[in-house]
Amino acid sequence: MDKLTSTARKIDIVFKIAEIMLKIAFVACLVCIGIVVVGKVFALPDEMIGTVDQLLEFGPLTLTVADAYTPDFDSMLIQAAAMLALGAGCSFLGILCVKAIRAILAPMKDGKPFASETSKNLRKLGWLSLILGAAVQVMEAISLFTLFIVQKMDTLLISDKISHVNVNISFDPSFLIIPAVFFLLAYVFKYGEQLQTLSDETL
């Protein structure tokens, strides 16, 4: 039992750091969104809001776009604001997930792995991870779609050698595995809780 409590305390420290990092990311996204909004409301010079680079990235492949084909600043701002908003949402969901994990570890630090709130927090973590996984899928789809629109990929890449460009958005169901594991663990811990209750009543 001492080993369990010691391990739980160490893991809790790791997730406490993760929670701090996620909060920083969440605030950073909100600050950047605020800069974009203030910049457009007060018609600040583009240089005070940000810059448009000429790099176009496809995974490990990076292309440098010529000046004449660089997207306009307003379109890039819309894309950036959309991605920042989605990033803030994912960071917030991540914070909730970490809080649920730390709530699960709390009774374990006291040597009570089958406390009544453990299974509830595992179910909560399952739902949160399901929502977070779906949000990441949506974020990737929106990122790809806005990249296609803002960068005008349908005209940028078309040449004598390339006749057409399509956006293929795919759905990866593998993110459902993690929530399923959490729901299964919630059932296991609920059963352990019932056994613990019966054992205490017998004693």
Place of tokens 């293929």: 168
Residue 203 has pLDDT above 60, yes or no: no
Residue 130 has pLDDT above 60, yes or no: yes
Rounded to 5 degrees, φ, ψ at 73 are -65, -40
In this predicted structure, what is the pLDDT of residue 21?
96
Taking Cα atoms as reference points, which of 124, 123, 118, 125 lies closest to residue 104?
Answer: 118
Q: DSSP assignment of 27-79, as one string?
A: HHHHHHHHHHHHHHHTT--HHHH-----EEEETTEEEEPPGGGPPPHHHHHHH
The rounded Cα 117 to chain-centroid distance in angstroms is 25
For the chain, give the percent of residues with pLDDT over 70.
Answer: 82
The pLDDT tens digits for 38-74 are 877 777 776 666 666 666 666 677 777 777 777 777 7
In this predicted structure, what is the pLDDT of residue 70?
72
Considering only residues 9 and 41, tell me which one the structure prediction assigns the higher pLDDT.
9
In this predicted structure, what is the pLDDT of residue 99?
93
- Residue 153's beta-bridge partner residues? none
Taking Cα atoms as reference points, which of 62, 65, 41 lies closest to residue 53?
Answer: 65
The pLDDT tens digits for 73-110 are 777 777 788 888 888 998 999 999 999 999 988 888 87
Residue 26 has pLDDT above 90, yes or no: yes
The pLDDT tens digits for 145-199 are 777 777 776 676 676 667 777 777 777 788 889 999 999 988 888 887 777 777 6
CA distance 102 to 72: 45
In this predicted structure, what is the pLDDT of residue 91?
92
Q: What is the mean pLDDT of residues 125-130?
A: 92
Place of tokens 């292309």: 63
